[in-house]
A and B are shown apart, each in its own frame.
Chain A
Amino acid sequence: MTTSRPHAASLVSKSAMVGYLPLVIFVALLGYLSIASSNFLTPATFDLILRQAVPTIIICMGLSVVVMAGGDDVVSGGIDLSIPATAVLSAAIIAQQVTNQGTPLAAALVMALGAAVLVGAVNAILVVRIGMTPLLATLATSVAVVGIIKVVTSSRRINVNDPTIVWLRDGTIAGVSVSVVSTFLLFLILFFVAHRTRWGLNLQAVGGSREAAEVSGISARKFVAQSFIVASLTGGLAAMFVLARGSGSTPGTEENLLLEMVLATFLGAAFSPRRVVTLWGAVLGAVLVSALSIGFKSIGVNVFWTGCIKGALILVVVASASLSTRVASRGRAA
């Protein structure tokens, strides 16, 4: 049915190959790690990888929603760099309230989610009303939020011993860590919303082609704005698991989260047959990134080098994404 010329076909497969490149590099790295470290391929390590990945997985899902609504162009498309800072701010608010003020956890969580939504609303206004590019707008809010974190916590670590947080960290359901189970449930809900509802399909239409969506009567601005709110909410929820993972709030956590979030989400696009950012792709990406971090630790790679390698991987992932779209669009232009 498709009128594909041999010329166009070869271009398409070339673009597919470029798109798979980051995945190949990742699998090769993991393969190397499992040979270099004897205890890398064990159930215990796998459990550790998943538990470490939980906060990243949750904020990756938020970022995926923003990218779906804004398009996957790295510069002008949808991106929200403020989710990690929002997560750490929410964690700081909960820690401050629970440990220093004696507020019940539920009330503290409501306050944290409120603060998160506020950040999301600011992003939405900056992008949709004022028309800033998401990259710059959310970079600015991210910097501002990090400043607020320092004010709230006086740049100090706050321990949290709340039993619920401890349960999130240590508890298990049917042998699986509570944090992993709850993240999986959250994934199911968000997956349904993003991939199996009108709202989700319209969101993806807006990201795929704003004009096409508008012509079909879908308000692009509404969906872009809502995607920032959803993203900030995932940041607020991730706060609970940030606290559980670190047994409290530590300023500076957002730096590593940011790196892993961007890397994992765009790496996830390589899993999707359509070469676009998806929720499940982002989750798999987050698990891979976490596996890599833990693998590097287990063979004793210097922590500073780990950051350097991750930065290089972001470059590979983003470059291959732009390359494959360029090759593909060259094949399409006719």
Chain B
Amino acid sequence: MGLLSSCQSKRANSRSVSMTFDAQILNMSGISKAFPGVQALDAASLSVDAGEVHGLVGENGAGKSTIIKVLAGVYSRDAGDVEINGIGFETLSPAAVHDAGVRFIHQELHLVPHFTVAESVFMGQELQGVLGTKNTAMRRRAEEFLEESLNAHISATTLIRDLGIAERKLVQIARALIDSKAQIVVFDEPTAPLAIGEIEQLFQAIRRLKERGIAMIYVSHYLGEITELCDRVTVFRNGKNVAVESEIDERSTETIIRHMVGRDIEELYPKKDHGVRDPILKLSDLTSDGRFSGIDLAIGKGEIVGIAGLIGSGREELTDAIYGLAQPTSGIVTLDGKDLNVTSPSIAVEAGIVLVPRDRRHDGLVLDLNVADNINLASLDEVATSFLENRKAAIQRAEALCEKLDIRPRNAEAITRFLSGGNQQKVVLARWLATGSKLFILDEPTVGVDIGAKVEIYQVIEGLAAQGAGILISSSDPSELLGICDRIVVLMRGEKIADEPAITLNLDSLTALTTGGGSVDTAT
């Protein structure tokens, strides 16, 4: 009596199913879903065959996660049909989807650190006898399942917190599949938290599941993984499925990217013309264990350098380390020729490094103070005599900067909360402009900003560079980086994989680099 037999019967089962239902195990067609102001899905379709690994790709906001949430019963669809295993579902509830054999492997691990592997696998579905929980049986079945179905050798009595991330991921998968009723498994960015060496372990598990006849939907930004693992790929763009690729090999990446991007760069960006001068910031072999390693980077005076990379590439961690929010384990940071040991943001600011954070509403601005107070926050010394702020000087200086950056309304005493996103971002920039900093690190400078304000922010950035400051922009928007940067550095899983002049890259080649789907050779 054991898992093996039940798995074999399961396999036989899904085979018969696949014959009866013409191999198609999931068919979602004409799915529409609107949110206030956004048509998230517009008659989109997704169909998956039994026993295939089906890739689902698209840029952020293309509708991938919306269609998965419709399938999960989290969102109710406005229109469209869903058939699972040949049975139509008028409405989908999480429980009904679960009963139909669909399982979701969320990006988050959702495990209790001090639970054992067996306890985690059987969480919420413990085996209970008259004399309490059947601990021995649960241990044995958990180990057997991990071994047989996921190709992993993990002791069931190990605590989760003593496991590596890849092993935790396998425990998470085992929990979803242990009842042997799963027919469709949806993976959401399963490799995002993994290091390069750990990915293969997960892939082996996925291939083993495929041998057992389980259909899988693999949602990922990593196109390299998609082409390695998937039998077919559906590409989403603007809420629609724009292509289904069925013959997948390494060369498919280019086709997939073309379908994903499907547009040209708008002429948003100022024309740049600054020859590279002396380096202002130099990173040599900067390493932070588990986050990024061996990063070499130089930024010249007046140069705008962009960092591209997916979530988990180490982009955010690198800028945090330069600004002193996190400690690198080794490596050297040089600013203006002097070695710098940045252990806290206050040291960074003192040295002339400034970080304009991604979430300006929380990290960058005191929203209930007025514009002048926010602008002068980092340079109060200059508008203060002994302990007291010189109110008039403060307002005058703020007004001069409002003028310079075209902050609207042109009123330094307006409360910051009521400014638009773009103008709030300009207030943050004005603050650091006032301090005369040498290096500006901008994290997602135009997120949530309308197109007109974007152009103005780009002009401010250009202006800073023209005055001789070094600029480091970390952004998830490839067209933004291509448009404004002199040079683009690509990070992947904590390593620098490219450092190219922006002019030699285009949207396709940059996307290929960040998603691990190509090399520099494919550029130009």
Cβ-based interface call for A77 (8 A): no
User: Which A residues are in CB contact (< 8 Å) with B198?
Assistant: 3
Contact across chains for A202 and B110 when beta carbons are under 8 A apart? no
User: Which A residues are in CB contact (< 8 Å) with B131?
Assistant: 196
Cβ-based interface call for B113 (8 A): yes
Contact across chains for B158 and A213 when beta carbons are under 8 A apart? no
Q: List 16 A-B contacts (CB under 8 A).
A: A1-B153, A1-B154, A1-B155, A1-B163, A2-B158, A196-B133, A202-B126, A204-B112, A208-B113, A211-B110, A212-B111, A212-B123, A213-B123, A216-B124, A216-B175, A332-B113
Cβ-based interface call for A276 (8 A): yes
Which 7 A-B pairs have CB atoms at the shortest separation, nearest pair first? A208-B112, A216-B124, A196-B132, A334-B290, A3-B164, A212-B110, A274-B114
Cβ-based interface call for A197 (8 A): yes
Residue on B with the closest CB to A276? B114
Which residue of A197, A213, A276, A334 is within 8 Å of B128 (Cβ)? Answer: A197
Residue on B with the closest CB to A9? B162
User: Which B residues are in CB contact (< 8 Å) with A5?
Assistant: 289
Which residue of B122, B124, B132 is within 8 Å of A217 (Cβ)? Answer: B124
Max count, chain B CB within 10 A of own CB: residue among A209, A218, A332, A333: A209
Contact across chains for A215 and B106 when beta carbons are under 8 A apart? yes
Known: A198-B126, A205-B123. A1 touches B158 (CB 8 A): yes
Contact across chains for A213 and B124 when beta carbons are under 8 A apart? yes
Cβ-based interface call for B20 (8 A): no
Contact across chains for A211 and B115 when beta carbons are under 8 A apart? no
Which residues of chain B from 21 to 68 have a CB within 8 Å of any chain A CB?
none
Cβ-based interface call for B159 (8 A): yes
Which of B's residues lie within 8 Å of A, judged by CB? 106, 108, 110-115, 119-120, 122-126, 128, 131-133, 135, 153-155, 158-159, 161-167, 175, 198, 289-291
Interface string of A215-226 (1 = CB under 8 A from B): 111100000000
Cβ-based interface call for A4 (8 A): yes
Question: Roughly how many angstroms separate A5 CA and B167 CA in the complex, as a whole number?
Answer: 15
Name the distance in Å between B105's Cβ and chain A's nearest Cβ. 10
Question: Roughly how many angstroms separate A125 CA and B108 CA in the complex, as a whole number?
Answer: 30
Name the distance in Å between A223's Cβ and chain B's nearest Cβ. 11
Contact across chains for B114 and A215 when beta carbons are under 8 A apart? no
Name the distance in Å between A196's Cβ and chain B's nearest Cβ. 3
Interface residues on A, range: 20 to 34
| Given pairs A3-B166, A201-B119, A205-B112, 8 additional interface contacts (CB within 8 A) | A1-B158, A196-B132, A202-B126, A205-B124, A213-B123, A213-B124, A217-B124, A332-B113
User: Which B residues are in CB contact (< 8 Å) with A275?
Assistant: 114
Contact across chains for A201 and B133 when beta carbons are under 8 A apart? yes
Question: Roughly how many angstroms separate A7 CA and B111 CA in the complex, as a whole number?
Answer: 23
Name the distance in Å between B90's Cβ and chain A's nearest Cβ. 23
Which residue of B110, B120, B132 is within 8 Å of A192 (Cβ)? Answer: B132
Known: A274-B114, A334-B289. A198 touches B128 (CB 8 A): yes
Contact across chains for A209 and B110 when beta carbons are under 8 A apart? yes
Which residue of B106, B119, B120, B123 is within 8 Å of A218 (Cβ)? Answer: B123
Interface string of A274-298 (1 = CB under 8 A from B): 1110000000000000000000000
Question: Roughly how many angstroms separate A217 CA and B99 CA in the complex, as a whole number?
Answer: 13
Contact across chains for A2 and B123 when beta carbons are under 8 A apart? no
Cβ-based interface call for A328 (8 A): yes
Contact across chains for B111 and A209 when beta carbons are under 8 A apart? yes
Which residue of A197, A198, A205, A217 is within 8 Å of B115 (Cβ)? Answer: A205
Contact across chains for A212 and B112 when beta carbons are under 8 A apart? yes
Contact across chains for B123 and A216 when beta carbons are under 8 A apart? yes
Question: Roughly how many angstroms separate A202 CA and B119 CA in the complex, as a whole number?
Answer: 10
Question: Roughly how many angstroms separate A202 CA and B120 CA in the complex, as a whole number?
Answer: 10
User: Which A residues are in CB contact (< 8 Å) with B122?
Assistant: 201
Name the distance in Å between A11's Cβ and chain B's nearest Cβ. 11
Contact across chains for B114 and A201 when beta carbons are under 8 A apart? no
Residue on A with the closest CB to B291? A334
Name the distance in Å between B95's Cβ and chain A's nearest Cβ. 8
Known: A208-B113, A215-B110. A2 touches B163 (CB 8 A): yes
Question: Roughly how many angstroms separate A275 CA and B159 CA in the complex, as a whole number?
Answer: 12
Name the distance in Å between B369's Cβ and chain A's nearest Cβ. 29
Contact across chains for A198 and B112 when beta carbons are under 8 A apart? no
User: Which A residues are in CB contact (< 8 Å) with B128?
Assistant: 197-198
Max count, chain A CB within 10 A of own CB: residue among B123, B128, B131, B153: B123
Residue on A with the closest CB to B138? A201
Contact across chains for A2 and B162 when beta carbons are under 8 A apart? yes
Name the distance in Å between B94's Cβ and chain A's nearest Cβ. 9
Question: Roughly how many angstroms separate A213 CA and B112 CA in the complex, as a whole number?
Answer: 9
Contact across chains for B124 and A218 when beta carbons are under 8 A apart? yes
Residue on B with the closest CB to A206? B112
Residue on A with the closest CB to B108? A211
User: Which B residues are in CB contact (< 8 Å) with A3?
Assistant: 164, 166-167, 198
Question: Roughly how many angstroms separate A144 CA and B392 CA in the complex, as a whole number?
Answer: 54
Max count, chain B CB within 10 A of own CB: residue among A1, A197, A276, A333: A1
Name the distance in Å between B204's Cβ and chain A's nearest Cβ. 15
User: Which B residues are in CB contact (< 8 Å) with A205?
Assistant: 112, 115, 119, 123-124
User: Which B residues are in CB contact (< 8 Å) with A209?
Assistant: 110-113
User: Which B residues are in CB contact (< 8 Å) with A201?
Assistant: 119, 122-123, 126, 133
Name the distance in Å between B100's Cβ and chain A's nearest Cβ. 15
Name the distance in Å between B202's Cβ and chain A's nearest Cβ. 13
User: Which B residues are in CB contact (< 8 Å) with A276?
Assistant: 114
Residue on B with the closest CB to A7? B289
Which residues of chain A from 1 to 35 have a CB within 8 Å of any chain B CB?
1-5, 7
Name the distance in Å between A296's Cβ and chain B's nearest Cβ. 34
Known: A7-B289, A208-B115. A334 touches B125 (CB 8 A): no
Question: Roughly how many angstroms separate A333 CA and B158 CA in the complex, as a whole number?
Answer: 19
Residue on A with the closest CB to B155? A1
Question: Roughly how many angstroms separate A258 CA and B404 CA in the complex, as a whole number?
Answer: 63
Which residues of chain A from 70 to 115 have a CB within 8 Å of any chain B CB?
none
Question: Roughly how many angstroms separate A202 CA and B175 CA in the complex, as a whole number?
Answer: 14
Residue on A with the closest CB to B175? A216
User: Which A residues are in CB contact (< 8 Å) with B120?
Assistant: 212
Question: Roughly how many angstroms separate A196 CA and B132 CA in the complex, as a whole number?
Answer: 5
Name the distance in Å between B155's Cβ and chain A's nearest Cβ. 7
Name the distance in Å between B313's Cβ and chain A's nearest Cβ. 14
Residue on A with the closest CB to B127? A198
Contact across chains for B126 and A2 when beta carbons are under 8 A apart? no
Residue on B with the closest CB to A215? B110
User: Which B residues are in CB contact (< 8 Å) with A218?
Assistant: 123-124
Interface string of A112-132 (1 = CB under 8 A from B): 000000000000000000000
Question: Roughly how many angstroms separate A274 CA and B162 CA in the complex, as a whole number?
Answer: 11
Question: Roughly how many angstroms separate A275 CA and B165 CA in the complex, as a whole number?
Answer: 21
Question: Roughly how many angstroms separate A205 CA and B153 CA in the complex, as a whole number?
Answer: 24
Question: Roughly how many angstroms separate A217 CA and B119 CA in the complex, as a whole number?
Answer: 15
User: Which A residues are in CB contact (< 8 Å) with B110?
Assistant: 209, 211-212, 215-216
Interface string of A318-331 (1 = CB under 8 A from B): 00000000001000
Question: Roughly how many angstroms separate A7 CA and B158 CA in the complex, as a whole number?
Answer: 20
User: Which B residues are in CB contact (< 8 Å) with A274?
Assistant: 114, 159
Interface string of A187-201 (1 = CB under 8 A from B): 000001000111001
Which residue of A197, A211, A328 is within 8 Å of B132 (Cβ)? Answer: A197
Name the distance in Å between B178's Cβ and chain A's nearest Cβ. 11
Question: Roughly how many angstroms separate A121 CA and B133 CA in the complex, as a whole number?
Answer: 28
Name the distance in Å between B210's Cβ and chain A's nearest Cβ. 24
Name the distance in Å between B325's Cβ and chain A's nearest Cβ. 13
Max count, chain A CB within 10 A of own CB: residue among B110, B124, B164, B165: B124
User: Which A residues are in CB contact (< 8 Å) with B135?
Assistant: 196
